[in-house]
Structure 1
Amino acid sequence: MSEACLLGMPQRELAIVREVVLLCAGEPWVFARSVIPAGSVTGRLRRLRKFNDSSLGEMLFKDPSMRRKTFQIARIDGDSQQIPASLHQPHQLWGRRCRFELANQPIMVSEVFLTSFSPH
């Protein structure tokens, strides 16, 4: 519900949801979830319907029309339903999400930084 609100989606609008786990040295570091409202994948943005193994971040930052809104930051329980059970952690985790706009169409990207995440 909060994702739909952040994206300004009308009730019952369909969306493409993509969930991926980002690994470093074989360890899961980040759980990422992207929500793209059906209304955002029209015209030149139709390519977002099927981006398979392509990096969404790369697509976002290459697009000259991209605008990023303010990040929302949160502490999330390690066993939250927002995280797949296979990634549940014994400790609270940090997460962030952001609304992006491509050609004035909204897209949300959220990331949860798992216990093994260790930026150097």
Structure 2
Amino acid sequence: MIELLKKRRSIRKYKKVPLEGDKLDNLVKALLLSPSGSNQRPWEFILVTDRDLLETLSTVRKGSSVFLKDAALGIVLLGESDRRDTWIEDTTIAGILAQLTAHSMGLGSCWIHIRNRMYD
């Protein structure tokens, strides 16, 4: 695990190649197995593979998310603030577990944070 943590980096250049089914399944498992306070799971996840939608999502933060348009997958993490006061922490843990799982399978990832940072 320590080696995985040492080697993980934010990747912003992607090949326009679809994800293999087992890799996508493993990313979903990582999200669903993520721990949360009192196991409340105050989140929803949206997996985006549609090229047009990825292109649209790549504009959510001026300049900071443009690379998303070339990714094979975008994972939208939605925290439910009315379900748990630790929704931010719980949802963030799920996100980092997905990133570490991606890295363990030889996939790159990069966090794009838009909470309180939306761009019109």
Which category describes the TM-score, using the shorter chain as reference length?
under 0.3
More helix by share: 2
More strand by share: 1
- TM (norm. structure 1) is 0.25
- TM (norm. structure 2) is 0.25
Quick one: higher RCO (CA 8 Å, sep 6+), 1 or 2? 2
